[in-house]
Amino acid sequence: MDLPVQQFRSEIEQELLDSFAALHDALPGAQNDRVAKLRSDAMERYASLGLPHRRIEAWKYTDLRARLGEAYPMVRPSGRPIDQAEIEKGLGPRVANLDSYRVVIAEGEFRSELSDVQALKEAGAELRSLAETLEHLPDDLGPLLAETGEQRSGFEAARPTGRSGAGPDPIIALNMALMTGGAVLRLGDGVSLDKPVHVIHLDGAGEPVSSVTRLIVVTGKGASLDLIESYAGLGGRGLQRNALTQIVAGADSHIEHTKIQREEDEAVHLSNWLLTLHENVRYNGFQYTNGGELARNDVRVLFEGEGTVMNFSAASLLKSRQHADTTMVIEHLVPHCTSRELYKAVLDDESRGVFQAKVIVARDAQKTDGKQMGQALLLSEGAEFDTKPELEIFADDVVCGHGATSGQIDEDLLFYLEARGIPEPQARALLVQAFVGEALEQIDREPLRDALTGVTADWLGVKLD
């Protein structure tokens, strides 16, 4: 006899459901039936899934429920002025003053008066607020909004019979249901911008709040884009962020993509990148994390065109009890593509770094070249590094490999530097900088690379020449 199953929800899970019930009529796009249906469907998925827990394999190293505690109220845009000094305080002057086209999303809302909308238009790009886009949703963006984070398009047909992919992601479902603001950036065929587009996210100026935003980027054939995403707090008491970035890279396009996360100590940062790469794309991604109590960076990459090369690197610099988790799924669906992943973590005090990366090679994706490496430098006995590299290969003509290492500073190298008159603190800092530098060298644009090298030196607390 089958007994009825009653679903029990934690207090925070119910609070999130209640938030949607209270806000859904006032959310952007509420009068658009398609958007309203996408939101309600997403909330139903979340209601059936609940928040991730450690019994889920991809979350075994990160206890999200324990870190969240309670659901903060959704941020309410105040429209208050934000000046350069406040941006510099949040991001640091090195990052805030990068020469770029600015896109500012503050308090969960696109701020056109702080963004270079007209300058981007003159350069050949189209920038619109997410709220405006949702009011009159273009046909090509509907499928993007409907993405759930489960196994991506067409993959099941390429796998052996009887195997199935990962299910929907409840964090992505919550983003679709509750997102309040963001931006949509389009580059037409052949458009090449002369400087980076810097999307600046600023939240948390007062009481604890939740911020749910989305950035959508679509590039045409042969387009070239340097995209920087920065996340910072405004000195508030707590922040729960759910940020999703979707990129559809057209054939022959070139994308440099960097994310810098420097939020306050009490922040919980949940991020998803959904990347779809068509043929002959050159994509270089980098993530830099040294803020927040908890940072979870999910990256999902879909190779949909032959001849594409994807390089991804990341650096996490953590202290105290900070926790940063970078989890990747790279799906090779077509032949003759290359993927590279390099993760570096510097862990002090009782911090914890996590790197999980799964490379999946479909049956028809012959001549795939996929490699991944996770490395951690432990500066204290209380620090911890967990890594789980995976290869799931169904093709027989591929070159794939993975590796992982962790350890402390090499005392012989430290002695060598001290013997040449370098004080011990600076010698240690030089060795840490060299360790992180391998990941930073993957950044193509020198001003950005230099800025993050300086941020690393600031984190180390030692002036490096």
Domain's final residue, options 408, 429, 455? 408
pLDDT tens per residue across span 160-209:
433 334 678 999 999 999 999 999 999 999 999 999 999 999 997 778 99
The pair of structure tokens assigned to 289 is 């994390």
* 220 within domain boundaries: yes
Q: Does residue 3 have a pLDDT over 50?
A: no
Residues 6+ apart with CB under 8 A from 240: 68, 71, 72, 208, 209, 210, 211, 267, 268, 270
Query: How far is residue 367's CA from residue 360's CA, in Å, rounded to a whole number?
Result: 13
Residue 465 pLDDT: 58
Is the pLDDT score of 1 beyond 60?
no
- Complete edge-to-edge strand list for the sheet that includes strand 125-129: 125-129, 181-187, 209-219, 239-249, 268-277, 294-303, 323-332, 352-361, 384-393
Distance CA 18, CA 290 (A): 32
Model confidence over 309-356: pLDDT tens digits? 999 999 999 999 999 999 999 999 999 999 999 999 999 999 999 999
pLDDT digits (tens, 9 = 90+) for 54-64: 989 999 999 99
417 or 177, which is more confident: 177
Same domain for 370 and 236: yes
In a domain? residue 459: yes
- Calpha distance 434→442 (Å, rounded): 13
Based on the fold, state whether residues 338 and 447 are members of the same structural domain.
no
What residues make up the domain containing 435? 409-465
Task: Tell me: do 176 and 40 sit in the same domain.
Answer: yes
Query: Residue 5 pLDDT more than 70?
Result: no
Please report the pLDDT score of residue 206 as a whole number: 79
Instruction: Report the chain's mean pLDDT, rounded to a whole number.
Output: 92
Flag whether pLDDT at 4 surpasses 80: no
DSSP for residue 139: G
Does one domain contain both 290 and 359? Answer: yes
Other C-beta atoms lying within 10 Å of the C-beta of residue 113 = 9
> Cβ contacts of residue 10 below 8 Å, gap of 6+?
50, 51, 65
Amino acid 230: pLDDT: 98
What pLDDT does 166 receive? Answer: 65
Residues 429 and 404 in one domain: no
What value does the mean pLDDT take over residues 441-454?
Answer: 95
Percent of the residues in the chain that have a pLDDT greater than 70, as a whole number:
94
Residue 1 lies in a domain: no
Q: What percent of the chain has pLDDT over 90?
A: 80
Show which of 377, 408, 439 is a domain's final residue.
408
In-domain check, residue 434: yes
Measured from the Cβ of residue 162, the count of other Cβ atoms closer than 10 Å reads 5
Q: How many domains does the chain have?
A: 2
Same domain, 394 and 456: no
- Asked if residue 299 is part of any domain, the answer here is yes
> Where does a domain end: 376, 408, 440?
408
Q: Are residues 366 and 418 in the same domain?
A: no
Do 324 and 450 share a domain, yes or no? Answer: no
| Amino acid type, 315 | A
DSSP assignment string, 404-439: EEEE---HHHHHHHHHTT--HHHHHHHHHHHHHHHH
Residue 67 sits in the same domain as residue 150: yes
Cα separations (Å) of 67 from 64, 90, 200, 248, 290?
5, 23, 25, 32, 17
Answer whether residue 28 is part of any domain. Answer: yes
Range in 107-111, 155-159, 291-295 the model is least confident about: 155-159
CB atoms within 10 A of CB 215: 21
391 and 415 in a single domain? The answer is no
The answer to whether residue 158 scores a pLDDT higher than 50 is no
Q: What is the pLDDT of residues 214-269, one digit of tens each?
A: 999 999 999 999 999 999 988 877 899 999 999 999 999 999 999 999 999 899 99
Q: What is the pLDDT of residue 452?
A: 96
Question: If pLDDT is split at 50, 70 and 90, which confidence band does 415 have?
Answer: confident
Tokens, residue 210: 């939740």
In a domain? residue 4: no
Helix H or strand E segment including 330: strand 323-332
Residue 6 resides in a domain: no
- Kindly tell me if the per-residue pLDDT of 68 is higher than 70: yes
Residue 147 clears pLDDT 70, i.e. is over it: yes
Q: Are residues 156 and 272 in the same domain?
A: yes
DSSP 8-class letter at 96: H
Whether residue 294 is found in the same domain as residue 431? no
What is the reported pLDDT for 404? 92
